[in-house]
Structure 1
Amino acid sequence: MALKALYANTKDTGFTINFFLKAGKSPRVGLLAAPFFTTNDPIKALTEKGCDVRLIVRFSPVTTPEALRGALDNPRVKVRYFTDAKFHTKLYIVDDVALVGSANLTDSGLKANRELSVLLRQDRDEAFYELPGIFDDLWNDADVLSEEILREYTKAFNAKDKPEDDGKFEKHVHKYVKPAAPTSVVAGSEKKSKDRAFIQSFRRKYDEILIPAHNEILEAALKNGFGRPEYEGQNPQIEMGRFLGWLRLTQGSGNGWRETPVLSDLKDRADRIAHYVAIWQSTDDTVKGDMYHASAEIENISNIRTFLCEPEELNRLNFDEIFRYLTGCHAFLERLRFVSKDIGEDLSGLERLRVDFQANNTVESVARTVNYLLSGSGSAIERAYDCVYGNYKLNGFGEACVMELLGWGDPERPPFNNRTIRGIRLLGFEVEHLVAGE
């Protein structure tokens, strides 16, 4: 069945869902924007053919957490959202065809309601060329849907006092999630606030790119026998952190990590992951550079979770004790490269790092930052941002240190540092530009 010129959900015109079902044998990119979202059927129709999808929705009385969960769990889908009730765009672009009209991404909108949507083709309709730019503007304005945001939205959606009116629901959802509005409808401004723009950039880096990449690697690794006996009984993320660091040091030394081809195909990445997992499982040397033996690594992480994640325990620690537990983060140990050798020439490397760190930070400021990062309220990514760029910033404890510590302290978030990001790049993911400082 060929695509029709318009869809109105009748037998004569065809049903809107057919646009997605019939949008080519091998679609490459799908750009979908709709305020109401209740079904993953159109997304599955695309991704099951190998299409990568970007989806923009609105948090509304209609958009269900279940549908969002399905999209977020799909490795070929990236999801962003608005909370503003004025977001009404229904725009669907698949490669060189687009559908513009009234149909939402709901069962009713795609199959039952008397909608009207018109097909535009790149090779025929001049207006088509404006549509990708319109989508990109919305995409850049929208906020990233993460696990944390979805949890809060689920609470809002399932609340007993949830209003069904769009305007009232917008106020209701803002009790759980910060406002996210297209720039064209932000009162008094044509730009997002500086803070929101920077935080969203930070969230996109970690929640939209690195965490999905990490999860894909872990899933593929576990399917291929990942799991050395010395890590048995531990959260597999602990071993994954060491695996990625080991990859960078042993398989991607020098510029080797960035010289391997980027892989866009999921199967190609899975094959590369399986190859390196086999080497990891058979090697006699999993310790390289400053990497700890498994037992020491497990103890370091246990100390972080026991002493640094518990405010009462943290408040009992002196500077040397906090410093010792922070050295469980490899990114912090790597700071030794930047410590002047003039500091305590007779001291060991670790002692020179401690002296330098203490000279630039008080015990009160370190404890305050660690407590806020690991035990503070609100979004983890916003707390991390504050510890890297805001009022909780420490001297000599930058982004890689903060994000690794956050990961070790929060079992629901993987730890990231520059070494693990390079390991992810070695496995075929396009993340080279995300290495801090490069």
Structure 2
Amino acid sequence: MTNSGIYTNSPGQDQVLRPYTVHMGTASSIRIAVPYFTRASEILQAAARGARIELLVGLNRSTDPSALRSVLNSPNCLVRYFTDRYHAKVFLFDGVAMLGSANLTGGGMASNREATLVLDQPGDEERILELELFFAQVWDSAEVLTPQILKQFKDAWDKSSRLGNPDAPFQMLRSVEPPTVLSGSGRKSAQQYVLSGLQKLIYGEYRPAFAEVSDVLRELGLRRPEFVGFDPSVETNRFLNWVRLEHAVGEASWQEAQQRPEKDRRYLVRELATQWVSTMNTHIPDDYFQLLTELRTVMGTPESIRASNHDQLARALICVHAFKQQLRFTLGGEEALPTKFWQMNHGDLQRVQNSLINLVHGTDDFAERICAVLYDERYKLGAFGRFCTLELVGTLKPEQVPPINGRMAKALRFLGFNVRPS
């Protein structure tokens, strides 16, 4: 590396690629914000060794959708985006920062003439902190890149290469801008704000945390015999339920729990999982697997939902723990809950069927389908909150979203994850 810490891709040995690859190979926390992105190889390698990566990119004709797809599909990677008005290039690695003109592209790293400064010396701490705060601000105002948004972007990107006006196809994407001094820049509607919050909660908190716990259970190779033949997510769900009831007892146990680094979280999960596979007190209801089978029979396909009557749909929903929890507030207990549900939904069987079909089997982004059930008058369901939607779809389609409910979220907090339980 040069003594000055400035890299310009001059002839010789000061390519921006040099410090970038060094820190990508060692850092445990990596945060990158660039408007142009085509180079994914170092990110994939870092993710494979366990580093946590937050990548913020611009969706434009200079960003490669295939590179984005590879990162989006990689574990330990979170991706957010802007469509306009973002030009800063910031790289953060465990207390080291790179700042300058270089995008995360082949040209930016090696072949274009750039000017990039590496901050890694005593006395740089205040400047690095300012860059970390800047990244936190733009990261919070960016939107989550979902598979559906990536598909829209790829369609626009493919179309732009065939048109005389290469920028026109990108106008199909909803504008996402960082807040600036310009009036109204970055302002969201109430519906966009709710959707953005849900996407960040699901993709940024619940799914990575649930996946880490599942990964530890898989690494141990230990499974309770009751769960053989079921998707591993079902056992992770019940394991977290057991953690909450056996170890995270009382509200203070999770409210006051400190966030833990990944290695400490994994150690604690391994300790508790060893107890889980041998315990006699699993807190699994006697009829749990029967209810799980009933839920899949009724909700497994759009056709099965359409063929179900009032009673069958309500009984299937009672299989969802978050839905059944409403018994605490329902006079008459379990027998009265279906009546309450249908009263709050005006007895409209077809409308409830449409809502459940869209929620479980729809093709829109999952967070958008949650918003529909919670806020859209066409699909809104009474007596059916956010955790009901998460647990229902997560049980039936765990590849989309983990089967999280409030009890599991509190268990994750107890284990040291930074998740919001409510």
The answer to whether TM tops 0.5 is: yes
Q: Which residue of 2 aligns with 1:144?
A: 144
Structure 1: distance between partners of 2:65 and 2:395: 28
Deviations 1:27-82 (A, max 9, x none): 56543211222223554687789764432112233433443344345554432112
Change in CA separation of 1:214 and 1:267 when aligned onto 2, cut-off 3 Å: same
1:227 and 2:223 are equivalent in the alignment: yes
Maintained 8 Å contact 1:238/1:298: no
1:387 and 2:390 are equivalent in the alignment: no
Structure 1: distance between partners of 2:250 and 2:124: 50
How far has the Cα of 1:8 moved from its partner?
1.0
Change in CA separation of 1:222 and 1:27 when aligned onto 2, cut-off 3 Å: closer
Structure 2: distance between partners of 1:316 and 1:137: 48
Q: Which residue of 2 aligns with 1:317?
A: 308
Structure 2: distance between partners of 1:377 and 1:327: 25
Q: Which residue of 1 aligns with 2:60?
A: 60
1:210 and 2:206 are equivalent in the alignment: yes
Deviations 1:191-233 (A, max 9, x none): 1222222211110001111101111111111110242222222
Structure 1: distance between partners of 2:248 and 2:417: 14
**Helix, strand or coil at the partner of 1:332:** helix
Maintained 8 Å contact 1:47/1:76: yes
Structure 2: distance between partners of 1:196 and 1:388: 14
Structure 2: distance between partners of 1:186 and 1:168: 26
* Amino acid in the other structure paired with 2:394: G
Change in CA separation of 1:172 and 1:74 when aligned onto 2, cut-off 3 Å: same
Structure 2: distance between partners of 1:47 and 1:234: 28
Q: Which residue of 1 aligns with 2:97?
A: 98
Change in CA separation of 1:331 and 1:138 when aligned onto 2, cut-off 3 Å: same
Structure 1: distance between partners of 2:259 and 2:136: 24
Q: Which residue of 1 aligns with 2:402?
A: 414
Deviations 1:226-273 (A, max 9, x none): 422222222211222222222212232323751785453322222222
Change in CA separation of 1:185 and 1:124 when aligned onto 2, cut-off 3 Å: closer
Structure 1: distance between partners of 2:230 and 2:125: 57
**Helix, strand or coil at the partner of 2:292:** helix
For these two proteins, the number of residue pairs brought into alignment is 417
Maintained 8 Å contact 1:80/1:142: yes
**Helix, strand or coil at the partner of 1:123:** coil
Maintained 8 Å contact 1:146/1:208: no
User: Identity of paired residues, percent?
Assistant: 29
Structure 2: distance between partners of 1:190 and 1:182: 5
Larger deviation, residues 102-111 vs 20-29:
20-29
1:305 and 2:299 are equivalent in the alignment: yes
1:82 and 2:82 are equivalent in the alignment: yes
Q: Which residue of 2 aligns with 1:327?
A: 318
Structure 2: distance between partners of 1:261 and 1:99: 33
Change in CA separation of 1:256 and 1:224 when aligned onto 2, cut-off 3 Å: farther
RMSD: 3.4
Gaps of 5+ in 2: none
Q: Which residue of 1 aligns with 2:357?
A: 371
Q: Which residue of 1 aligns with 2:39?
A: 39
* Amino acid in the other structure paired with 2:342: Q
Structure 2-normalised TM-score? 0.85
Q: Which residue of 2 aligns with 1:344?
A: none
Match of 1:277 among 265, 273, 276: 273
Change in CA separation of 1:352 and 1:180 when aligned onto 2, cut-off 3 Å: same
Maintained 8 Å contact 2:24/2:46: no
* Amino acid in the other structure paired with 1:68: L
**Helix, strand or coil at the partner of 1:282:** coil
* Amino acid in the other structure paired with 1:105: L
Maintained 8 Å contact 2:24/2:43: no
Structure 2: distance between partners of 1:395 and 1:328: 17
Structure 2: distance between partners of 1:249 and 1:154: 45
Q: Which residue of 2 aligns with 1:135?
A: 135
Structure 2: distance between partners of 1:65 and 1:205: 24
Change in CA separation of 1:186 and 1:56 when aligned onto 2, cut-off 3 Å: farther
Deviations 1:98-126 (A, max 9, x none): 33322111233112222222345782598
Change in CA separation of 1:218 and 1:46 when aligned onto 2, cut-off 3 Å: closer
* Amino acid in the other structure paired with 2:358: Y
**Helix, strand or coil at the partner of 1:33:** strand
1:427 and 2:404 are equivalent in the alignment: no
Larger deviation, residues 115-124 vs 201-210:
115-124
Structure 2: distance between partners of 1:244 and 1:94: 32
Structure 2: distance between partners of 1:357 and 1:314: 16
**Helix, strand or coil at the partner of 1:408:** helix
1:163 and 2:161 are equivalent in the alignment: yes
Structure 1-normalised TM-score? 0.82
Q: How does 1:165-204 map to 2 (within 5 A)?
A: 168=166, 171-173=168-170, 175=172, 178-184=174-180, 189-204=185-200
1:350 and 2:334 are equivalent in the alignment: yes
Q: Which residue of 2 aligns with 1:337?
A: 328
**Helix, strand or coil at the partner of 2:214:** helix
Maintained 8 Å contact 2:100/2:116: yes
Maintained 8 Å contact 1:388/1:402: no
Q: Which residue of 1 aligns with 2:241?
A: 245
Change in CA separation of 1:214 and 1:96 when aligned onto 2, cut-off 3 Å: closer
Change in CA separation of 1:168 and 1:264 when aligned onto 2, cut-off 3 Å: farther
Larger deviation, residues 242-251 vs 121-130:
121-130
Structure 1: distance between partners of 2:12 and 2:142: 36
Maintained 8 Å contact 1:4/1:13: no
